[in-house]
Amino acid sequence: MSQANLSEVLFKPRFKHPETSTLVRRFNHGAQPSVQSALDGKTIPHWYRMVNRLMWIWRGVDPREILEVQARIVMSEAERTDKELYDTVIGYRGGNWIYEWAKQAMDWQQKASMEEDPQVSGRHWLHASTLYNIAAYPHLKGDELAEQAQALANRAYEEAAQRLPGTLREMEFAVTGGAPITGFLHMPKGDGPFPTVLMCGGLDSMQTDYYSLYERYFAPRGIAMLTLDMPSVGFSSKWKLTQDSSLLHQHVLKALPNVPWVDHTRVAAFGFRFGANVAVRLAYLESSRLKAVACLGPVVHALLSDPQRQASVPEMYLDVLASRLGMHDASDEALRVELNRYSLKVQGLLGRRCPTPMLSGFWKNDPFSPEEESRLITSSSSDGKLLEIPFNPVYRNFDKGLQEITGWINQRLNRHGFNRHLRVI
């Protein structure tokens, strides 16, 4: 078959794939609450997905590129699941969210393939990976097209890693009672073993979304970063998210003494959003293996236990929660009962004294994570630090907050390590 014919077969529009917004069939479609959040973006009228400009720009996407792709989606006259929502075009064709972002990613992938300079090519591959991840967002279970985009994102990430500074190793970890999981260990220049941060990402993101965090904040401090996908998505898709949310990360933490590039005596965990649920659980259950735990906009109690707060967040985010829990068509009440079990306060952990140093960063009036959530975490720790991050200017304060958090992590990782450098006279 000729290359042209093969392309026609591969990219022939198909219309049988389920459209993303239809995958969770439980919540009543009503008026969308207006939400703006630094970590999650904001609701925009006539869009099902939250548009997360800050995080996408932080990951390297040009704001103009976001607007260009959005414009193509808006201008499409193709059939939509909901004619009021632009990003619900049915089928893999022009105007479909996954199609348009994947098309954008393919352009960068082609540039990467043609670029002779390894560093520039690596940047292009990384950009392609980011765009494929946006195509797959919000990563709902059973979204066939999104899963294909996710596979392309992982491949592009691996290509980028071969060309960018430092070393990246794809690592497989055995998990008792089920399939192994894959993580990426990012290592700075120099000789290991390195102090390491175990990254616990949010439910609507993938482990390949955090390269910027490693490159800008951890690598300059000589810290390695180990990423894992959350249960039910990506490389961890064979595992369902359960109330034991830290199960996979716990297995990895216990395996670190056998990883020669990691200094297992200097390990911290960092949790974004629901990833903080994992990180704080680890602080209690694995305090002997962790030097510190940091959280940003944590989801550990309030959103999981308060029906009013659940009603104030966008439908897409509730769909993500339901998808991760495997409750695609459960009643609202059944979902509320199940979410309550994921509260670390209900589980009897938060509120008890924890020996692990814990920092929690928050934004005032964050619909997903109130200030009390972070106060609950830091007041439970024998060495707690509360960090308020002002909202505006959002990008500069986000960067400043991350600098402060990574500085705090660095101090805790090295707190008992300085004596090794003293000479006895």
Closest C-alpha among 102, 131, 146 to residue 208: 131
Whether a cis peptide bond, with omega within 30° of 0, leads into 260 is: no
**pLDDT score at 20:** 95
Query: CB-side exposure of 101: number of CA atoms within 13 Å?
Result: 26
Neighbours of 378 (CB within 10 A): 18
Average pLDDT estimate for 245-265: 97
Are residues 78 and 70 in contact, defined by beta-carbon separation less than 8 angstroms? no
Asked, colleague to colleague, whether 15-164 and 165-301+343-415 share their fold, the answer is: yes
What's the average model confidence in pLDDT over 359-369? 95
- The rounded distance, in Å, linking the Cα atoms of 326 and 280 is 23
Q: Provide the β-strand partners of residue 186.
A: 168, 225
User: What is the tens place of the pLDDT at every residue in 233-246?
Assistant: 999 999 999 999 99
For 8-56, write each residue's pLDDT tens digit: 444 455 557 889 999 997 655 555 677 888 888 888 899 999 999 999 9
Per-residue pLDDT of 302-330, as tens digits, reads 999 999 999 888 889 999 999 999 998 88
Q: How confident is the model at residue 363 (pLDDT cuts 50, 70, 90)?
A: very high
Average model confidence (pLDDT) for the chain? 91
**423: pLDDT confidence band, cut at 50, 70 and 90?**
very low
- Please answer whether residues 102 and 113 qualify as being in contact, where contact means their C-beta atoms are separated by less than 8 angstroms: no
The predicted pLDDT at position 148 comes to 94
Q: Determine the CATH number of domain 15-164.
A: 3.40.50.1820
The widest CA-to-CA distance across the chain, in whole angstroms, is 79
pLDDT digits (tens, 9 = 90+) for 365-395: 999 999 999 999 999 999 999 999 999 999 9
**Secondary structure class of 258 (helix, strand, coil):** helix
The pTM for the full model equals 0.92
* Average pLDDT rounded to a whole number, residues 271-286: 98
Fold held by 165-301+343-415: Rossmann fold (3.40.50)
Task: List the chain domain ranges.
Answer: 15-164, 165-301+343-415
Place of tokens 């996908």: 229
